[in-house]
Amino acid sequence: MKTVDTLLVVGLGLIGGSFAAAVKSAGACRQVYGYDLDKASLEEAKALGIIDHGCQSLAEGLAAADVIMLAVPMLAMKPVLEELVQCSLDGSLGKKVITDAGSSKRALLDAALEVFGEMPDYLVPGHPIAGSEKSGVGAAKANLFQAHDVILTPLENTDALALETVKMLWESCGAVVTDMDLYHHDEVLAKTSHLPHFLAFSLVDTLAGNPDNQDIFRFAAGGFRDFTRIAGSDPIMWHDVALGNNQAVLEALDEFTEGLQVLRQAIIEKDSQSLLGIFSRAQSARQHFS
């Protein structure tokens, strides 16, 4: 396995912390540096042995790094890229590989276009299809990505060596790496990940906001708990996803709303055939994936 000398992880939360821990334990780099705006997260990452060195500034990390992983919330990607540019007025940034773990690839592309004027060939957009409703470095696990998909969305000008390096790092975490068109990624994830999160948030918020519903959480059964587990996810992350993948999320919400209206109408009309049709098709589709 080829290895990297110094990996810098920016944003030592669930994803950045898990990536640092996994790459470190796989021995895919000589040393892992970490940087986080939150000094407590930086200290905790160091204490947990997830990183070898906690950087006091992004400039310090940049000077040492060969590969930089951005694992900050989506809307923090642009300020971090801006700061990286400011720290590397000698042009050294162009010799590093940069990748990210953000949930919307269009948002990263837009941020990069605003900062660089074009997508740099050494910036490889990526997204691990793994995570949880927990956040912060305390929730990080070295095996988080084991046997999970990671989608990379390289553009035509993406440097082949940079792509190979990022792929190698994810594979060292035990992930299964797939390339996908950047826009297609956002459409797929809007439906499979973003929409279910927004439905869970909206369901819990709607029910919790009604004083007549005081008893619902007390008597919540397994189905409610399963469906709403992800409403315990980090509000900042999902705020950023809603804005960062705005267009694809709205399309997914519209498609879902249409389906919900059909269900509602079938209930109004006591239309057993339609209801059984919807439930049977959904049951059969659901049984085809684990």
Q: Of 234, 251, 274, 278, which one interacts with ligand NAD (CB under 6 A)?
A: 234
Alpha helices in 94-218 (DSSP H): 105-116, 160-172, 182-189, 195-208
Question: In this structure, what token pair is assigned to residue 289?
Answer: 């994936």
Question: In this structure, what token pair is assigned to residue 53?
Answer: 């060195």
CA 129 – CA 144 distance, rounded (Å): 10
Sorted by sequence, the CB contacts under 8 Å of residue 232 that are 6+ apart come out as: 133
The DSSP output letter for 191 is I
Sorted by sequence, the CB contacts under 8 Å of residue 15 that are 6+ apart come out as: 71, 101, 128, 131, 144
CA-based nearest residue to 92, from 126, 122, 70:
122
Task: Indicate the residue among 41 and 172 with the shorter CB distance to ligand NAD.
Answer: 41
- As measured in angstroms, the least distance from the Cβ of 163 to ligand NAD is 19
Hey, what's the torsion of the CAs at 240, 10, 233, 182, to 10 degrees?
50
- As measured in angstroms, the least distance from the Cβ of 37 to ligand NAD is 4
**Taking each helix axis from N to C terminus, what angle separates 246-268 and 272-287, rounded to the nearest 10 degrees?**
140
Is residue 13 within the footprint of ligand NAD (CB under 6 A)?
Answer: yes
Is residue 20 within the footprint of ligand NAD (CB under 6 A)?
Answer: no
Q: Which helix (H) or strand (E) holds 34?
A: strand 29-35
CA 184 – CA 24 distance, rounded (Å): 31
Which stretch, 7-15, 150-158, 160-168, 169-177, contacts ligand NAD (CB under 6 A)? 7-15
Give the rounded distance of the alpha carbon of 215 from its chain centre. Answer: 34
Site string for ligand NAD, 182-211 (x = CB under 6 A): ------------------------------
Q: Report 129-188 residues binding ligand NAD (CB under 6 A).
A: 131-132, 135-136
Q: Of 49, 79, 138, 232, which one interacts with ligand NAD (CB under 6 A)?
A: 79
Is residue 115 within the footprint of ligand NAD (CB under 6 A)?
Answer: no
Is residue 37 within the footprint of ligand NAD (CB under 6 A)?
Answer: yes
Task: Indicate the residue among 149 and 271 with the shorter CB distance to ligand NAD.
Answer: 149
CA 258 – CA 252 distance, rounded (Å): 10
Is residue 23 within the footprint of ligand NAD (CB under 6 A)?
Answer: no
Is residue 249 within the footprint of ligand NAD (CB under 6 A)?
Answer: no
- As measured in angstroms, the least distance from the Cβ of 108 to ligand NAD is 9
Task: Indicate the residue among 11 and 125 with the shorter CB distance to ligand NAD.
Answer: 11
CA 228 – CA 201 distance, rounded (Å): 7
Give me the residues paired with residue 31 across strands: 6
Is residue 126 within the footprint of ligand NAD (CB under 6 A)?
Answer: no
Is residue 271 within the footprint of ligand NAD (CB under 6 A)?
Answer: no
Task: Indicate the residue among 13 and 120 with the shorter CB distance to ligand NAD.
Answer: 13
Is residue 4 within the footprint of ligand NAD (CB under 6 A)?
Answer: no
Binding footprint of ligand NAD on the chain (CB under 6 A): 10-16, 35-38, 41, 71-74, 76, 79-80, 101-103, 127-128, 131-132, 135-136, 234, 237, 241
